[in-house]
Amino acid sequence: MIGGRSNNKKRKVVVTSEKYYGLQSFLQPGCPIAPSGPFRDSVRVFLEVCCQMEDYNVEGMAIWCTFLFYENRGFVLPLYTIEECVQNSVQPLCDHCRCSGDFRVFLD
């Protein structure tokens, strides 16, 4: 009990923004995007279509936010994506390139 009152009423959450996605259906085929082409292009489409850029950054890296709505429980979870610049990265290679030994491919 916070503030001396107890509120036992259930609240109905109404989702009105396009940037909210169902937690159960998120990342199912075609939801929220249908990836095609190079990975970096699919990530760019995901950021443009599904995320909203935050008004702050972490060490100069852009922060994007997508909200996942948990339909059964009625609450929203933020999913943060940090856009890291490859030139400033400590690890500029993706795991596939690093593990397969293809060090010529950088993630722009």
Helical ranges in 1-108 per DSSP H: 39-50, 95-100
pLDDT (mean) for 11-37: 72
Q: Which pLDDT score is estimated for 33?
A: 83
Distance CA 6, CA 39 (A): 49
Quickly state the pLDDT bin for 108 (edges 50, 70, 90): very low
Note whether 15 and 69 are within 8 A (CB): yes
Note whether 53 and 76 are within 8 A (CB): no
The mean pLDDT value of the chain amounts to 74
How many Cβ atoms sit within 10 Å of the Cβ of residue 80?
Answer: 11
Distance CA 85, CA 108 (A): 8
Query: Tens digits of per-residue pLDDT, 43-66?
Result: 888 889 889 999 998 888 899 999
pLDDT (mean) for 7-18: 47
